[in-house]
Amino acid sequence: MLEYIAFDADDTLWHSEAHFGEAQAQFRLLMQQYLNGSYEDRYLQETEQRNIQHYGYGVKGFGLSMIETALELTQGRISPEHIRFLVNLTKELLAAPVRVLPEVEAVLDELSGDYPLMVITKGDLLDQETRFLRSGLSEYFRCLEVVSEKNPFTYSRILRRHRIRPERFLMVGNSLRSDIWPVLEIGGQAVYIPAPGAQEPLPMDDSTPGQYVRLGSIGQLPEWLEARLLAA
């Protein structure tokens, strides 16, 4: 029996990587003008990784990292108009329409009658809150939890706060590292639904603290839950 089901948001409920991917493509085009085609996407990713400790996850940090990368790679030759272009690109990412993934709304409509649902997501606080509201999905959820990192500690804190027993908590998400492993580690349950077109994940090592279920799409979730109930 489950007391609560939680969903990751970005690329579980709505598109996210696609928007970042479009921004990265624009950034790539811009950098190639300055670098005679020798730009590689990893330059931006390395700046982002280095800055996570300062900025955390989210669009604003991504924007600041684009500007920093551009200054570095062009050795200061980037024009101010192009810096302004990067500031605008950041704002466009924040204002981008929320594109809900297929089957999501029907699944939430069905499950919210049987279980309390919540969203647990990383990123900028205001950005994730407005995205949640603009998605049109907020009515299906009891609450939204925006966290700076998804690790066993943050999941434990959320479960304590809502008085949920770990063994009766199910997390659904597209990231093994953020949505699945830390939840298994605190004794919770997890359903892994890879984003369409995502790379095959690395196999878990032997220290993995439990098992998770993998579904091909979120549309299979209600049936899986029902079969589980019948088997119990």
Helices (H), 112-220: 125-134, 152-161, 181-185
Q: Name the segment binding its own copies (CB under 8 A); options: 12-20, 24-32, 66-74, 175-183.
A: 66-74
Q: Between 99 and 138, how does the x/- string for binding to its own copies read (CB under 8 A)?
A: -------------------------xxxx-x---------
Ramachandran region, residue 18 (left: φ > 0; alpha: ψ -120 to 50; beta: rest): alpha
Could you tell me the smallest distance in angstroms from the CB atom of residue 152 to its own copies? 16
Answer for which of 7, 8, 12, 63 binds its own copies (CB under 8 A) is 63
Q: Name the DSSP letter for residue 142.
A: S
Contact 66, 86 (CB under 8 A): yes
- Count CB atoms within 10 A of the CB of residue 136: 12
Closer residue to its own copies (CB): 91 or 177: 91
Answer for which of 1, 37, 42, 54 binds its own copies (CB under 8 A) is 54
Of 170, 111, 101, 171, the closest CA to residue 136 belongs to 101
Binding footprint of its own copies on the chain (CB under 8 A)? 51, 54-58, 60-61, 63-64, 67-68, 71, 74, 76-81, 83-84, 87, 90-91, 94-95, 124-127, 129, 143, 146-149, 161
